[in-house]
Amino acid sequence: MAISRLNEREYYNKIYGGWLGKNIGGTLGAPMEGKKELLNLTYYPSLPDGPLPNDDLDLQLVWLHALEQYGGRITAAELGQEWVEHVFFPYDEYGYALANLRRGLVAPVAGWFNNPFTHCMGSPIRSEIWAMVTPGSPELAAYYAYQDAIVDHAGGEGVYGEMFFAAIESAAFADSDRDRLIRTGLRYIPAQCRTAQAVQDLLAWHAEGKNWLEARELILERHGSSNFTDAPQNIAFTILGWLYGEDFGDAILKAVNCGYDTDCTGATLGAILGIIHGADQLPEYWVKPVGDGVAVSPPIKGFPAPRTLDELTERTVRIGKRVAAEWNVPLLIDRDAATCWAASGESYMEEDCDAERLWHLSPTANVYCLPKGTTRNLGLELTVDYGLQGPSIGRMQCKTIAYRLVNRSEKSWEGVLALETPDGWSPPEEMRFSLQPGAGTEGNWIVQSGPEAQPVYPLSAQIVRLHDGHVWSAETVDLRLVAAAEWSIGAGEGGEAKPFVFPGSCVRFGETAQPGQGGSYRAATTMIVPSDRNIRIITATEAPIRAWLNGRLIIDSPAKQPFMPAFHRAPAKQLAELTVPRGEHLLEIEAAQGDNPPEVYVLAVSQRTTSSPGSFYAYSDVLFIAKNGG
């Protein structure tokens, strides 16, 4: 295979340009974030003295640290650990994923389960780091982006958005043609996904001669969402700025002036253009106010973050060299090399990086490579699939967990597979297996829980290898199930209450009885709080809703509200903040019937003021159990 060459100074200039463009676009758009109307900015809304902190860049500083800690073969497992240790954002998908990770779940299940924000912008905004350490290898950049995105967006458009941008940005080190780069990005996401359809439609409208304002309206009409962070519309706005922009400033202004998730659209487009042109070609008019600084949000902590763009760029360059070596990428990065790309940015491929294979991986299943700690799938592969109900279980419930064991090695494997369960549960029988290279076996574990509720139930898959009929070695894979939410649901006043178990935070009245008097649904549960807490109780739904705690009305929201089950930005009418003592508390809700049976996310999170680690994080140890009238 021909070797590409990249001059190290040019590599530095393009990386610096990408980070600088990210800061410029993010600082331009951050003050306007969430505004859905057409904007009319012509420059920074307020003249900054250095860049504004932004999660668009913050999270990528954590990923740089992760690459430095774990190396170039990093996966979603290590990135998930970084979230728990260094990221304390409660925002939307971040908050739900963090709650799952803290319970011991791992990606992709941790990024999918009980997460209503998988289609949002939290992952597309952090694509640049993967492109910068994989210059000219869009397939490898898309692979990294997938590993990143499934931590908090598994099964959603957020995954495709990050793969799309990462592929574009990686290819931009070797190619500056806008239309060709967009086509490159589209090759790494499914043609039928909403993100691809929004971009394809935008390209068609641009080709038809629609102006940028007409294109914006068509994006909102065909692909819009009431949630300003929804990925397809914002990705289309980013590309709109690129298509219609006359220069760097005009491009990022048009993207931001579309409104919605403005810090994300401006920052990503600024990064793309910065990589293409390099830092030395970005206009001083835009560069001077942000300078060389790196601003880090307070909830990002616990590691040595770069203080300047120069330090950030130098560290990124070092990791880029390391990644090329670890993946055997045919790329030489050298100070004396003259840049020469072997094949227009498509110079590398490995089976693990195949995008189409990644698209078909289920978000309900985790895959474990054995022996643990291996960076290549060359031993045993265990897949554990929790099904559409996810990794949850109620008291005295049966649950089926599917497994598949495949021998990826070049030697035969003989052994025993068993599942260990908590005390008081009914464990499944162990399974004896003998697998030739490439062969697999599959089956189901059926477990029954005990009568005691716990926030988390630890299980473990035990794989014992036999040689000559005797035990040779053993591997343990830690698994987790989490407590389901139990509710008693009745139809109107005097209606008979029936027990229902929901896998996550959402009470889905469409799965229960019909509404009774007045067209209302009623539900009750016992909220078990393990210690005295300052709690924000949220009942997020579109429907009018009321809630009582121990008989006292705490939420009265008589009108329809935007559906926003976020820990930090739920509608004020649908939340109550109060001090709740340790013990059991009767929680009741009443939701009005609308065109469809309502869905209500019932959440218990911290309040804004906390001593540690941050605001509005989920109280993952609070239980919802149906008993004592609940």
The model's pLDDT over 56-81, given as tens digits with 9 standing for 90+, comes to: 999 999 999 999 999 999 999 999 99
Separation between Cα atoms, residue 444 and residue 610, nearest integer Å: 43
Query: Is residue 544 within 8 Å of 591, Cβ to Cβ?
Result: yes
Regions of the chain short of the pLDDT cut 50: 345-347
SS (H, E, C) 248-314: HHHHHHHHHHCCCCHHHHHHHHHHHHHHHHCHHHCCHHHHCCCCCECCCCCCECCCCCCCEHHHHHH
Token pair listed for 516: 């009774």
Binding region for Mg(2+): 261, 263
Q: What is the DSSP letter of 88?
A: -
Token pair listed for 449: 């829980």
Query: Is residue 108 within 8 Å of 146, Cβ to Cβ?
Result: no
Separation between Cα atoms, residue 563 and residue 574, nearest integer Å: 10
Q: How far is CA 324 from CA 132, 351, 449, 593, in A?
A: 11, 16, 48, 57
Angle between helices 8-29 and 55-70 (to 10 degrees): 140
Residue 282's Cβ-side half-sphere holds a number of Cα atoms within 13 Å equal to 31
Token pair listed for 101: 């990770």
SS (H, E, C) 495-528: CCCEEEEECCCEEEHHHCCCCCHHHEEEEEEEEE
Q: What is the DSSP letter of 126?
A: G
Other CB atoms within 10 A of residue 276 CB: 23
| pLDDT tens track for 507-555 | 999 888 666 556 789 999 999 999 999 999 999 999 999 999 999 999 9
Hey, do 4-353 and 372-481 end up sharing a CATH topology, with the first three levels equal? Answer: no
Q: What superfamily in CATH does domain 372-481 come from?
A: Immunoglobulins (2.60.40.10)
Q: Please report the pLDDT score of residue 345 as a whole number.
A: 44
So what CATH class is 485-625?
Answer: mainly beta
Separation between Cα atoms, residue 308 and residue 572, nearest integer Å: 39
Token pair listed for 470: 């005797």
Considering the domain delimited by 4-353, tell me its CATH architecture.
Orthogonal Bundle (1.10)
Binding region: 261, 263
Q: Please report the pLDDT score of residue 594 as a whole number.
A: 81
Token pair listed for 421: 């369960």
Q: Please report the pLDDT score of residue 611 as a whole number.
A: 84
Spans of all domains in the chain: 4-353, 372-481, 485-625
Separation between Cα atoms, residue 371 and residue 415, nearest integer Å: 14
What is the sign, positive or negative, of the torsion defined by CA atoms of 260, 567, 364, 352?
Answer: positive
Q: Please report the pLDDT score of residue 515 as a whole number.
A: 66
Phi-psi sector, 364: left (phi>0), alpha (psi -120 to 50), beta:
alpha
Query: Which are the contacts of 29, defined by CB distance < 8 A and separation ≥ 6?
Result: 252, 255, 256, 262, 263, 264, 265, 266, 267
**Listed residue (409, 357, 405, 413) closest to 381, CA to CA:** 405
